[in-house]
Structure 1
Amino acid sequence: MVLNSTVSNFILGGYLQVGNLRYLYFMLTAFLYIVMVVLNTSLIVVICMNRSLHEPMYMFLCSLFVNELYGSSGFFPFLLTQILSDIHTVSASLCYLQIFCLYSYSNVEFATFAVMSYDRYLAICCPLQYHIRMTCNKAVIFIVALWLFSFMIFFITLSLNIRLSLCGNIMNSLYCQNYLVVKLACSDTKVNNIYGIFATALFFLVTLFPILFSYIKILKICFSGSRQTRQKAFGTCTPHLVSILNFTFGCCCQIVQSRFDMTSVPRVLQIILALYFLILQPLLNPVMYGLQMSNIRKIYTHLLC
């Protein structure tokens, strides 16, 4: 892969000049990052160290928490250095690396949601066949496949974009974004656009279909089943649905910001919306699943005591 030699660095124009307040923002951001790392890492350790949690559902949760660490580590150390810097620049190679980390993180997140939806469908709609149709070995295959698929589909996109000739290096953003790099291109982007549409359609078909299919089936069971079935479905699906909706909202905010004119929106609100899916998701998931899943909650409480 050959990097574009016409641009050696990018300028990020999304930061505010905050003077000495930068140290306060640095400490707040560092605290958030430490909390994310501690919460996600502790739950990964709890799941890995307790054999009673070596079940497909918890293996998918472990994959989700690993992805939260991956996405956070691809962004927060970079953000911390930018907060303390007066000149908000990033080298081209680091910029492309960050783009790959953040977009593959998003892909893995949605793909994990899709697999978790199918797992919940089997547990609620086919409880007698669950341990036959969803074994630990199959769960491992699902996890490896979703990570490889998510990485591969965006790696090709980024490989095409890196070869573009750029006529500028200024991004009005807090971090590097794939679409903003393409907007700076002065060469033909037809191939990039065609593959981008194809990859997006393929990815959403692969991830959205299992989610919709699973929850349509679960809703049918809830409406026709017993009260106990409805309570079980509500208890196991609520954190999953909240997580999907929260992450989808955050990604939509980021997409709208990068593609439309946001000059009429206050800069502080722009910054909050740009950071929403990178901050709230890694904080929300471990807290929500840790509190909701009784097995995790009991073991975690036992370890703390």
Structure 2
Amino acid sequence: MVNATVLTFTMTAYAVMENYKHKLFLLFLLLYVATVFLNVLLIAVIVQNKELQQPMNVFVCMLCLNEMYGSSALLPSVMSVLLFKTPEVSVKWCMAQVFFLHTYAGAEFCILALMGYDRFVAICYPLHYNTIMCHSKVIKLVVCVGLYPFVLFAGYFCLNLQLSFCGKNLPKLYCVNMELVNNACSNVSHIGIVGLVLILFFVVPQVIMIVFSYGQIARVCKKLSKESQGNALKTCVPHLLSLLNYTIGSMFEIIQTRFNMNHIAMEVRIFLSLYFVIIPPITNPLLYGLGAQIVRVHIIKLFIKYRILMVKVTRRMITA
């Protein structure tokens, strides 16, 4: 339980939104609805069609679930503050949001690293792909990647639960760990050190896996014909774009929490801090859904199916 001198935090970043908070509320609402719709649609298409239930698409479903998890930890909270005109949140909710957002960020990178490994096996060992990425191994990978960020962050999070807070201003739209630490009453240098070590555990193994995977892919592609190279690299494009998109957003946030960015306009800092938890959940379903022809075909079939169903229901209601 949190032993807090301060019971609420004031999110000072909302002050710059005072004149257009209603427009921002609608924007965030649209973004949240779009995120949930696109990710649920992609999961539904993959689940309903056996030919799409390949290991890579299982990992895509994991990515979609994680992105809805991250968006749900942020956007409803932001919208509630904009709607009810109070930039204050309780310490307990702030702690919970820190856990949700940090585990989302860790899980996202783990899943992307796993998807890179899948591309490595598919391109470097195509004849043995089904043997290597068998059903039992995929289940083990899903469980490990699903648990890893939660178990890793839970131990660190227990340190936060022992903190008491004297400061109450957070220059953000949401709660992040370093801002909580900065508002603690006691000396928390050890928490900062543990936090850096935690970032290394979240980043280094995944970076090694991604660099190794694409290094091997590049080595194999050198031996292939230009046509085969194009076909192989084409399957990597959605993953590379997702990885680049998420990495850029994460670096924005890590830099802001570790360094003084007061020389940059607050509006710019707000946008950069939201990037990693808003943009990837919107763009990734488009990359893996609309970006793949076979998935596009099934999405169109799904819409046609439900359109026919709605027409039948409407006719029955009219004739009743």
TM-score (norm: length of structure 2) = 0.91
Corresponding residue of 1:252: 251
Please report the RMSD computed on the Cα atoms of aligned residues, expressed in angstroms.
Answer: 1.5
Deviation of 1:190 (Å):
4.3
Corresponding residue of 1:46: 45
Corresponding residue of 1:155: 154
1:19-168 matches, cutoff 5 A: 19=18, 21-168=20-167
Residue 265 (str. 1) matches residue 300 (str. 2): no
Residue 177 (str. 1) matches residue 173 (str. 2): no
Q: Work out the CA distance in 2 between the residues paired with 1:135 and 1:195.
A: 37
Deviation of 1:13 (Å):
0.8
Note the alpha carbon deviations across 1:17-47, whole angstroms, 9 max, x for none.
5456322221121111101110000111111
Instruction: Detail structure 1 runs of 4+ shifted over 6 Å in the superposition.
Output: none
**Structure whose alpha-carbon radius of gyration is higher:** 2
Q: Work out the CA distance in 1 between the residues paired with 2:41 and 2:300.
A: 12
Q: Which moved more, 1:237-246 or 1:202-211?
A: 202-211
TM-score (norm: length of structure 1) = 0.95
Q: Is 1:235–1:292's contact at 8 Å kept on the other side of the alignment?
A: no
Deviation of 1:66 (Å):
0.5
Corresponding residue of 1:216: 215
SS of residue in 2 equivalent to 1:247: helix
- AA aligned to 1:183 is N
Q: Work out the CA distance in 1 between the residues paired with 2:270 and 2:18.
A: 17
Give the number of equivalent residue pairs.
Answer: 304
Q: Work out the CA distance in 1 between the residues paired with 2:166 and 2:49.
A: 54
Deviation of 1:92 (Å):
0.8
Q: Is 2:8–2:90's contact at 8 Å kept on the other side of the alignment?
A: yes
Deviation of 1:177 (Å):
0.5
Q: Which moved more, 1:195-204 or 1:151-160?
A: 195-204
Q: Work out the CA distance in 2 between the residues paired with 1:206 and 1:18.
A: 39
Note the alpha carbon deviations across 1:104-163, whole angstroms, 9 max, x for none.
000010000111111100000000111101012211211111111111111111111221
Provide closer, same or farther for how the CA distance between residues 86 and 237 of structure 1 changes in structure 2, counting only shifts above 3 A.
Answer: same
- AA aligned to 1:199 is L
Q: Work out the CA distance in 1 between the residues paired with 2:227 and 2:131.
A: 23
SS of residue in 2 equivalent to 1:297: helix
Q: Work out the CA distance in 1 between the residues paired with 2:17 and 2:188.
A: 37
Q: Work out the CA distance in 2 between the residues paired with 1:279 and 1:100.
A: 17
Q: Is 2:16–2:267's contact at 8 Å kept on the other side of the alignment?
A: no
Percent of aligned pairs with the same residue? 37
Q: Work out the CA distance in 1 between the residues paired with 2:7 and 2:163.
A: 13
